[in-house]
Amino acid sequence: MGKGRLIVISGFSGAGKGTVVKKLIEKYDYSLSISATTRAPREGEVDGREYYFKTVEEFKSLIDYNGLIEWAQYVENYYGTPRKFVEQEIAEGRNVILEIEVQGAMNIKAQYPDAILIFIATKDIETLEARLKARGTESDEVIRKRITRAAEEADSMDSYEYIVINDVLEECVDAVHSIVVSEECKKENKTRFLIDIKKELEDYIGGR
């Protein structure tokens, strides 16, 4: 059994990453890493489902015990990826989605060079602002901060291997899945198969 891959999904806050990820999991066979955060839960969010909600102290102790494979500060809160789940899942051959911001994504790529980095964007800033407002969970001040952060993140888009525009949800979901499928088909990821099939063919011909 081959090892699983890490699929890193980043994107502007409000680009609909969360929905894209949810659909990907419903439709295809991906595991989802649940992050730890010091952010307060939004209405409807459940501890252990959207995030593991932590105090700053708890979060810092996770860092101290090497319990996170990466972590970052984003708009005044800490976010990090728990190590144990990710390591278990990839060891068991499952592809794991990490929905994380750009610093975390770069950090993951440095540690896991075969991670697939995908950036989800909206087609324009108006769409982004409208989606953030429609969510209705953040104050104008926080929305402004998130759009400011999006401007910074736009500079990092170049570091991603794939950029997908989330205009029509289903198309975006299928585009992300196609990226993963085509990565898996790359011959670099098929070395074992190439050796085995050549050997089988030789044996077949030799045994005739």
- Of 5 and 146, the one with the shorter C-beta distance to ligand 5GP is 146
- Of 28 and 85, the one with the shorter C-beta distance to ligand 5GP is 85
* Cβ 19 to ligand 5GP shortest distance, Å: 12
Helical H runs in the chain?
17-27, 56-64, 83-91, 102-111, 125-135, 140-156, 169-185, 191-206
* Cβ 44 to ligand 5GP shortest distance, Å: 12
What are residue 16's phi and psi, to 5 degrees?
90, 20
- Of 33 and 95, the one with the shorter C-beta distance to ligand 5GP is 33
* Cβ 64 to ligand 5GP shortest distance, Å: 17
* Cβ 61 to ligand 5GP shortest distance, Å: 16
- Of 139 and 191, the one with the shorter C-beta distance to ligand 5GP is 139
* Cβ 63 to ligand 5GP shortest distance, Å: 12
Per-residue burial over 35-64, b if 16 or more Cβ lie within 10 Å, else e, is: bbbbbeeeeeeeeeebbbbbeeeebeebee
- Of 19 and 103, the one with the shorter C-beta distance to ligand 5GP is 103
Cα first-last separation, the chain: 30
User: Three-state SS for 29?
Assistant: coil
Give the nearest residue (CB) to ligand 5GP.
104
Q: Which residues bind ligand 5GP (CB under 6 A)?
A: 13, 35, 39, 70-72, 74, 79-81, 99-101, 103-104
Q: Are 165 and 121 in contact (CB under 8 A)?
A: yes
* Cβ 29 to ligand 5GP shortest distance, Å: 22
DSSP state letters, 6-20: EEEEEE-TTSSHHHH
Q: Are 117 and 164 in contact (CB under 8 A)?
A: no
- Of 25 and 190, the one with the shorter C-beta distance to ligand 5GP is 25
